[in-house]
Chain A
Amino acid sequence: MNVTQFQLDALREIGNIGSGHAATALSTLLQRRIEMSVPEVWAIPFEQVSAIVGQLDTTQAVVYVKVEGDAPGKAVFLFPVASAQIVVQALFGTDEARDLYTDEMAQSALKEVGNILVSSFLIALSQFSGIPLQPSVPALAIDMIGASLDAIFLEDGTLEDTVLFIDTQLSGIPEIEGQFIFLPDDGSLKKLLGAIGV
């Protein structure tokens, strides 16, 4: 669908409210200060996603949550492996490095962080729009970012020429970086925009 500048602004505001809640949740969970960028709204062909996430074969931890309810979509939280390591250590209250590829406890902790972030984002979005939304169980991949994202975007076997997503950078002190991406399905966008009257 074509999106007007006014609608893009509305989506940025949706992203701002949702991501603000998510950042607060992360901050509470990790007991650290978390800063958040002003969300950016992108409407681009998926092929150009490296403009947003950088080199497609850098390793990142990706937590993927499906958004279910009246306006379905996808939510993705991604962070560099070093940040994922810090997050896990903060949660376990230890300085000991864990093998994120094999340690199931560490993996569930990462999934849980993604779950909390996405849930807080969705609660804010539901309250704001009046549309009920629920998160699925989270799934995790620690792999090439391009590989993880193509699997998420192409999962349903279709791909619009232009995909729209809301992208927020999160950073914590010290040394945590993350990126939160919300991707409404094509039909959901109309519903979300309709619900807030734009």
Chain B
Amino acid sequence: MNGVISVGMADYKTARSPDILLTAGLGSCIGICVHDPILKVGGMAHIMLPTANGSIGGNPAKYADTALELLLKEIAALGAIKSRLRAKIAGGAQMFSFPGKPPVLKIGDRNAEAVEHELKKNGIPILAADVGGSFGRTIHFDVGTGELRIRTIHHGEKVV
């Protein structure tokens, strides 16, 4: 039996195959999934905002930059080799739009940019990015195979 490990908002978890990581109801937030395909271990972070911007206190797992740092540290502690790590990301939607008032900087887009930037900075290739749109996503990540299953309410389900 595979265990399903649930990752909350502003939370991160790691797992070993055959366990599955799950996070539910991503809107403008992003689920960052990282795994080492050889060792079959990985982790998931559910980030809410692009950057901690040096803010002290609060939960570092809220932000793309500080959450990824924590996640990578914990994945490394499981024995993963950084150069083998691969990433998949999902989320970053804009759920609401107000007529005549285009938001200047949509938070979903900013989150996606920040996550891509942080992964690149760490030299981790992004194999799949299912970001944007105007709908919520629930994601399941298999840390062994690297399969990311993305479920939506009205926009189908897919595996990337």
Chain A contacts to B: CB under 8 angstroms: 45-47, 49-50, 55-57, 59, 64, 66, 101, 136-137, 139-152, 154-159, 161
Contact = CB atoms under 8 A, between A and B. Distances in A.
Question: Chain A interface mostly helix, strand, loop or mixed?
Answer: mixed
Contacts, number: 113
A55 B24 contact: yes
B70 interface: no
B58 interface: yes
A139 B98 contact: yes
Q: Which 5 A-B pairs have the closest CB atoms?
A: A146-B25, A147-B136, A147-B27, A56-B25, A144-B136
Question: Chain B interface mostly helix, strand, loop or mixed?
Answer: loop
B28 A151 contact: yes
B49 A146 contact: no
Interface of B: 8-11, 24-29, 48-50, 57-59, 62, 93-99, 103, 105, 107-108, 110, 134-138, 151, 153-154
A148 B94 CA distance: 9
A146 B139 CA distance: 13
B28 A154 contact: yes
B9 A146 contact: yes
Nearest to B108: A151
Nearest to A152: B96
A47 B11 contact: yes
